[in-house]
Chain A
Amino acid sequence: MVIVMEKHTTESNIERVMSELVARGFDVHRSTGSEQTVLGVVGDVAKIDTREFELFDGVQEVVRISEPYKLSSRTFRREKTIVKVRGVEIGGPEVVIMAGPCTIENERQVFETARRVARAGARVLRGGAYKPRTSPYAFQGMGVEGLKLLRAAADESRMATVSEVMEISQIEGMLPYVDILQVGARNMQNFNLLTALGQVRKPILLKRGMSATIQEWLLAAEYIMTGGNYDVILCERGIRTFETYTRNTLDISAIPVIEKLSHLPIIADPSHATGRRDKVMPLARAIIAAGADGVLIEVHHDPDKALCDGPQSLYPDQFARLMDELRIIVPAVGRRL
């Protein structure tokens, strides 16, 4: 951390800042310039609230150089984390495709969709049983009955399952059926939920909040990891921008940024980002080309009759075509499918 003092500030102002730092056990590197003095702070500065020092008289700016997140950072762990679930390795050399319906609606829908996506090469079956809908009048999901269908369909097609958990009370009931618990964008900063998921010994798929910075996202992962659950998969799903043509703007740049900052696997969801089927395929290609560890895609066996997010769900044939395209891209970025 660096503290930049105001130009021509008094010696006593500098001394007050230094006294406080030294009293707290930090080492200070003082550099007196002709006009401005800069203090380099060495030690465990992650615990410092920079505002405390910004409030000292004569302080112009406090700049953090090291990251406030620890467990999720590359500094803490150099080699990439590989999340293993039912024979699937997320974060390894293989790119993992997760696909399935937005919401579990009925037996025929989930089994049919599972068969089609598994045949095309998907390894993880997605499907929501508890749905965070913008409107309270929209379909809210099937609950545990839906999860049972998801599990059975995944078992038949030899896939792992991922489904969204919305609140702490749902966790226990989901564990028998769900291999990866998903935290949705709207819950990314639900710190009580994150803390509870830190106690679970199953992988967590943490979606980025639609207005969350990368730092806030990694700090959310930190909540889960401090509980001892290190199997966190990050999922970019689009952020709010001024553009209204697409629902959200998929932040492709977050993929290489996370790759540099964190050892956690990073995947992306092109379906929720755009909300439009015709935009999902090009974005899925871009996600893989950018180096993501996987993609999470909505596929419905009959999207025109879907109860939720039909317009963003791919037809099974489209999904199979996309998989063929991804098989061409994957070796170019040094991965396999």
Chain B
Amino acid sequence: MERADAEREIDRIRDAIDRVDEVIVRLLNQRAKYAIEIGEIKGVLGLPIYAPEREKDVLHHVEKTCEGPLDGHSMRRLFERIIDESRRIEREAATDNGQRTTEND
């Protein structure tokens, strides 16, 4: 492969990555909307935001459905951050819906 061809090929793949990122962002926001809905319900019912059993299930689920080339552990680490953000957005939604927030100014 000529150097110019290689550079063109890298550009093409990078474009493809950008398209994938757009889909990921859209899906993450879709996921966040569900988290907000759950947060609102938890706020009304006064349920705890942190649900360790559910978090475990989510991680287990993504690990199981992961076919590679990323291994299960990598996927788990990525989803830990996604869950961290979901927990935060759920808390905010719950607080707006009546649950009292403590020591957070």
Does B49 belong to the interface (CB within 8 Å)? Answer: yes
Which residue in A25, A29, A30, A32 is a CB contact (below 8 Å) of B91? A25
Is B103 interfacial (CB-CB < 8 Å)?
Answer: yes
Number of B residues contacting the other chain (C-beta, 8 Å)? Answer: 20
Contact residue among B48, B73, B80, B88 (Cβ-Cβ distance under 8 Å from A27): B88
- Chain B, residue nearest A12 (CB): B52
Residues of B within 8 A of A25 (CB): 91, 101-104
Count A-B pairs with CB separation below 8 Å.
48
Contact in complex: B84, A30 (CB < 8 Å): yes
| B87 touches which of A11, A27, A43 (Cβ 8 Å) | A27
Contact A19 B50, beta carbon cutoff 8 Å: yes
B91 touches A28 (CB 8 A): no
Residues of A within 8 A of B91 (CB): 22, 25, 27
The reply to whether A44 and B104 form a contact with Cβ atoms under 8 Å apart is yes
Complex Cα distance A15/B54, Å? 12
Which A residues lie within 8 Å of B56 (CB)? 11
A residues neighboring B (CB under 8 Å): 11, 15, 18-19, 22-32, 34, 43-44, 47
| Further contacts, 11 of them, CB under 8 A, given A23-B102, A27-B87, A32-B76 | A19-B48, A22-B91, A23-B48, A24-B102, A24-B103, A25-B91, A25-B103, A27-B88, A30-B83, A44-B104, A44-B105
Top 8 A-B pairs ranked by shortest CB distance? A25-B104, A22-B50, A15-B52, A27-B88, A25-B102, A25-B101, A29-B84, A43-B104
